[in-house]
């Protein structure tokens, strides 16, 4: 379970506590629930000069989901974990929808309006499309929320997919001395990106890929990244120690393409994406030290600690500050979904752009808003019972409440009590990590053809057979 945040009566953040301890505090009347999401309790006394552990918030920004983890670096304990789902695609959809309606309206015979030109946005001043902007503001919102309830003193974020600086050095110094190390992961991520996750020879996607030497290694021991590409096992074995020119004798076009792509270095712009950079800039405004990590490093940290691939565990593995051992057993992440704050449009329109339905109604109905988490204790009628869940508020006062068991319609507003006011996000509990799931990951890693092997002697004979020149990255010979 994630820990519970604790505030003193002056809303000063204290150390987080185990949920059991929080339960005792609550049942003895020493604290009250301050907030449901993230679960925070407030003590009834003030604490002078509390000794508070320093925490670090770690962020793995993704296009659909961002992983968040709050860690105690000193003990390696993951104090809190969350996964934040963005609504970028929904924003894009509704903007496209609006654009379509406006366009069709312009093409109809409507009153003439002078063109307006002074209302264009300035794309030079760090402007991002609304769908991407929302991702950044989502993350900032949550970092700020966590900063209000616990003592966060540092931030880690994954800024780049792979470390270009290290990659450039690898181009010069070769990769052989770095086999099986962090650099292996960095190179692998780089190659996957450069070759777009496809086999260079047969263009197959979504299959395990192996690192392949374009000019066979047996020939002139060229381990530079510009001599590496990705191939599926079949192609890799078929090519064997052959020279690429012989191997692709019948496909001169492909040969030319591969040689050209291998020589072309990946541009920096391809490695740092604009959204992450903007997020980094915005996080800097919070005034905390920020540590940046690369995707290769994250993957290396996660694999070395036998952690399953989830967004929050990726976040916990970001950066060089990651503790040797992460305490995560039983951790259950909070799944946060950005749901928005309702619509701005005053009247819904049909697909032709004509108004339909009722105009926009006031958001609150009988004091409740759709999206609030309520507790309803129904004492009369056919729905007698207790319901805790998300409410869909209706103007009639007859509400729908969605709980884990499903939606119940027609619950009177007079039975409802708000537990958590809607704030643009909806919440769910994620799956807990058990000790067995960590072991199964280990098994998965050793069975996967492309995943680097951990804790195995590097000159393992098992690895040597099968593939001749197309060595796996992690292999020494
Ligand atoms: Zn292939």
Run of H or E including 315: helix 311-316
Q: Give residue 59's pLDDT.
A: 96
Residuewise pLDDT in 10s, the chain (477 residues): 789 999 999 999 999 999 999 999 999 999 999 999 999 999 999 999 999 999 999 999 988 999 999 999 999 999 999 999 999 889 999 899 888 888 887 777 778 777 777 777 776 777 888 888 999 999 999 999 999 999 999 999 998 876 666 655 554 444 443 444 566 677 777 788 788 888 888 888 888 888 888 887 777 666 677 788 888 888 888 888 888 888 888 888 888 888 888 877 665 444 557 788 889 999 999 999 999 988 888 888 998 898 999 999 999 999 989 999 999 988 999 999 999 888 888 888 887 778 888 888 888 899 999 889 999 999 988 899 999 999 999 999 999 999 888 999 999 999 999 999 988 999 988 888 876 666 555 544 444 434 343 333 333 333 333 333 333 333 333
Q: How far is the CA of 210 from the centre of ligand 1 (A)?
A: 10
Q: Give residue 172's pLDDT.
A: 43
CA distance 477 to 177: 11
Q: Give residue 438's pLDDT.
A: 60
Q: Give residue 146's pLDDT.
A: 96
Cβ burial, residue 343 (10 Å; 0-12/13-18/19+)? exposed
CA distance 171 to 184: 13
Q: What is the pLDDT of residues 268-298, one digit of tens each?
A: 444 557 788 889 999 999 999 999 988 888 8
Q: Give residue 402's pLDDT.
A: 92
CA distance 48 to 194: 55
Query: What is the CB neighbour count within 10 angstroms for residue 385?
Result: 10
User: 282 in helix, strand or coil?
Assistant: helix
CA 375 → CA 387, 403, 414, distances in Å?
6, 10, 11
Q: How far is the CA of 227 from the centre of ligand 1 (A)?
A: 17
Q: How far is the CA of 271 from the centre of ligand 1 (A)?
A: 25
Q: How far is the CA of 424 from the centre of ligand 1 (A)?
A: 46
CA distance 212 to 81: 38
Q: How far is the CA of 209 from the centre of ligand 1 (A)?
A: 8
Q: How far is the CA of 184 from the centre of ligand 1 (A)?
A: 22
Cβ burial, residue 282 (10 Å; 0-12/13-18/19+)? middle
Question: First and final CA of the chain: distance in angstroms?
Answer: 45
Interhelix angle for 274-284 vs 130-149, to 10°?
A: 30
Q: How far is the CA of 203 from the centre of ligand 1 (A)?
A: 6
Q: What is the pLDDT of residues 337-359, one digit of tens each?
A: 999 888 888 888 887 778 888 88
CA distance 54 to 51: 10
Q: Give residue 181's pLDDT.
A: 57
Q: Which two tokens stand for residue 98?
A: 């609006």
Mean pLDDT rounded to a whole number for the chain: 82
On whether the pTM is more than 0.85, the answer is: no
* Contact (CB, 8 A) for 424 and 339: yes
Spatial strand order in the sheet of 373-378: 406-412, 398-403, 385-392, 373-378, 416-420
Q: How far is the CA of 225 from the centre of ligand 1 (A)?
A: 19
Q: How far is the CA of 475 from the centre of ligand 1 (A)?
A: 21
User: 47 in helix, strand or coil?
Assistant: coil
Q: Give residue 373's pLDDT.
A: 92
Q: How far is the CA of 207 from the centre of ligand 1 (A)?
A: 9
* Contact (CB, 8 A) for 362 and 371: no
Long-range contacts of 91-96 (CB under 8 A, 24+ apart): 91/130, 91/131, 91/134, 92/129, 92/130, 92/131, 95/130, 95/131
Question: Where would I find the H helices in 174-288?
Answer: 182-194, 217-220, 233-239, 244-247, 252-263, 268-271, 274-284
Q: How far is the CA of 157 from the centre of ligand 1 (A)?
A: 35
CA distance 430 to 373: 18
Q: Give residue 134's pLDDT.
A: 93
* Contact (CB, 8 A) for 156 and 58: yes
Q: How far is the CA of 198 from the centre of ligand 1 (A)?
A: 8
Q: How far is the CA of 169 from the centre of ligand 1 (A)?
A: 29
Q: What is the dihedral of CA 456, 179, 188, 219, to 10 degrees?
A: -120
Q: Give residue 391's pLDDT.
A: 93
Q: Give residue 79's pLDDT.
A: 95
Q: Give the chain's count of helices (H) and strands (E).
A: 15, 19
Q: How far is the CA of 237 from the centre of ligand 1 (A)?
A: 10
Closest CA to 265 of 315, 302, 226: 226
Closest CA to 78 of 331, 267, 345: 331
Q: Which two tokens stand for residue 259?
A: 């040689």
């Amino acid at each position: 379970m994630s820990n519970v945040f604790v505030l003193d009566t002056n809303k000063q953040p204290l150390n987080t506590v185990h949920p059991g301890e929080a339960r005792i505090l609550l049942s003895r009347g020493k604290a009250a629930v301050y907030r449901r999401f993230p679960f925070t309790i407030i003590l009834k006394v003030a604490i002078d000069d509390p000794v508070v552990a320093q925490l670090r918030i770690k962020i793995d920004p993704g296009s659909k989901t961002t992983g968040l983890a709050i860690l105690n670096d000193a003990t390696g304990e993951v104090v809190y974990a969350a996964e934040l789902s963005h609504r970028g695609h929904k924003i894009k959809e509704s903007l496209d929808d609006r654009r379509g309606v406006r366009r069709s309206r312009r093409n109809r015979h409507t009153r003439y309006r002078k063109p307006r030109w002074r209302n264009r946005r300035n794309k030079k001043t760090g402007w991002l499309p609304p769908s991407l902007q929302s991702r950044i503001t989502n993350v900032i919102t949550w970092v700020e929320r966590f900063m209000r309830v616990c003592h966060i003193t540092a931030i880690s974020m994954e800024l780049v997919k792979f470390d270009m600086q290290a990659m450039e050095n690898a181009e010069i110094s070769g990769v052989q001395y770095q086999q099986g190390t962090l650099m292996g992961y960095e190179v692998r991520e780089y190659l996957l990106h450069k070759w777009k996750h496809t086999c260079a020879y047969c263009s197959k996607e979504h299959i395990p890929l192996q690192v392949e030497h374009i000019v066979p290694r047996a020939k002139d021991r060229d381990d530079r990244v510009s001599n590496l590409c990705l191939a599926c096992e079949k192609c890799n074995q078929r090519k064997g120690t052959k020279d690429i020119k012989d191997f692709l004798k019948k496909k001169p076009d492909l040969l030319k393409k591969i040689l050209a792509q291998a020589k072309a270095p990946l541009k920096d712009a391809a490695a740092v994406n604009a959204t992450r950079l903007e997020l980094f800039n915005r996080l800097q405004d919070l005034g905390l030290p920020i540590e940046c990590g690369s995707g290769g490093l994250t993957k290396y940290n996660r694999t070395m600690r036998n952690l399953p691939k989830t967004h929050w565990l990726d976040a916990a593995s970001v950066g060089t500050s990651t503790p040797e051992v992460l305490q995560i057993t039983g951790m259950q992440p909070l799944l946060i979904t950005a749901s928005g704050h309702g619509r701005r449009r005053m009247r819904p329109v049909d697909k032709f752009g004509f108004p339909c339905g009722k105009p926009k109604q006031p958001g609150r109905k009988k004091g409740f808003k759709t999206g609030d988490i309520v507790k309803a204790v129904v004492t009369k009628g056919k729905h007698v019972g207790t319901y805790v869940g998300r409410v869909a508020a209706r103007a009639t006062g007859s509400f729908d409440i969605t709980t884990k068991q499903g939606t119940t319609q027609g619950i009177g507003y007079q039975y409802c009590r708000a537990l958590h006011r809607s704030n643009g996000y909806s919440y769910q509990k994620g799956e807990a990590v058990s000790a067995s799931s960590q072991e199964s990951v280990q098994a998965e890693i050793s069975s996967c053809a492309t995943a680097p092997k951990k804790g195995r002697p590097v000159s393992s004979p098992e690895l040597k057979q099968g593939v001749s020149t197309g060595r796996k990255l992690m292999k020494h010979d």
